Structures are given as structure tokens and as C-alpha cells.
Amino acid sequence: MSEAETEAPRTGGRHGDDTRERFELEEVGFKEVPKKWRKFYRYWGGPGDLLAPNEVVCPVCKVVIRSTRELRAGDKVYCMPCMSRMVVIEGADGRLEAEVIF
């Protein structure tokens, strides 16, 4: 068997990972960004607001950042309303949180 035959098959996706859940995003009334980007943000409903696996709260402006793919620790996200760059981390309680890097 050649070396090429023993390698694991590559999966699709930019980083070779196609196991993430995909989401269809709809505009939900967030008007603080240009129309093209509105579906990627929504207002946070406070501590009782349950986040989907594709959402994380910006710690700077308290806006929910949404993705078309499931978020995981290490992913980078951008908050257009406050222009912050963040990395997704797993919090002490197991939930995903955003940590500002710029």
C-alpha cells in the first residue's frame, strides 16, 4: 500500500472540517450596520437570552454576533457595530464567550 493510500481522506471546508452545523440566517431588525450585514447581528435580550450554537455576545457592546456555521473555541469573530475583533473561548460554565483581541 502506498503512502497516499494510507492517508485519511480529506474533508471539505476551508480548514478541512465539514462537521459543523450550518444555519440559515434571516434579518431580525438590527439596523446599526449596513443592510448587507444585518443578518449577522441581533440585539441581546439580557441574561435570560439563550444563544444558539452559532451565536456569541460581544462583551463590548452587548450585541449578538451570528454565524452561518456553528462556532467553536478558537474561531475569530468581528463586531461591526463597535469594530472589535474577538476570539471565541469556552467559558467556565461551558458556554461560548468572546474575548476581545483588538
Is residue 42 one of the residues assigned to a domain?
yes
What is the pTM (predicted TM-score) of this model?
A: 0.80
Residue 12: exposure state from Cβ atoms within 10 A (0-12, 13-18, ≥19): exposed
Is residue 81 one of the residues assigned to a domain?
yes
Q: What is the pLDDT of residue 15?
A: 56
Question: Is the confidence at residue 71, as pLDDT, over 90?
Answer: yes
- Cα–Cα distance, 30 to 8 (Å, whole number): 43
Domain range for 43: 17-100
Question: Residue 102: which pLDDT band, with cuts at 50, 70 and 90?
Answer: confident
Q: What is the pLDDT of residues 1-32, one digit of tens each?
A: 444 444 433 344 455 556 999 999 999 999 99
Nearest to 78 by CA among 101, 53, 45: 101
Is residue 3 one of the residues assigned to a domain?
no
Q: What is the pLDDT of residue 3?
A: 45
Task: Specify the number of domains making up the chain.
Answer: 1
Nearest to 69 by CA among 33, 96, 92, 99: 96
Neighbours of 36 (CB within 10 A): 7
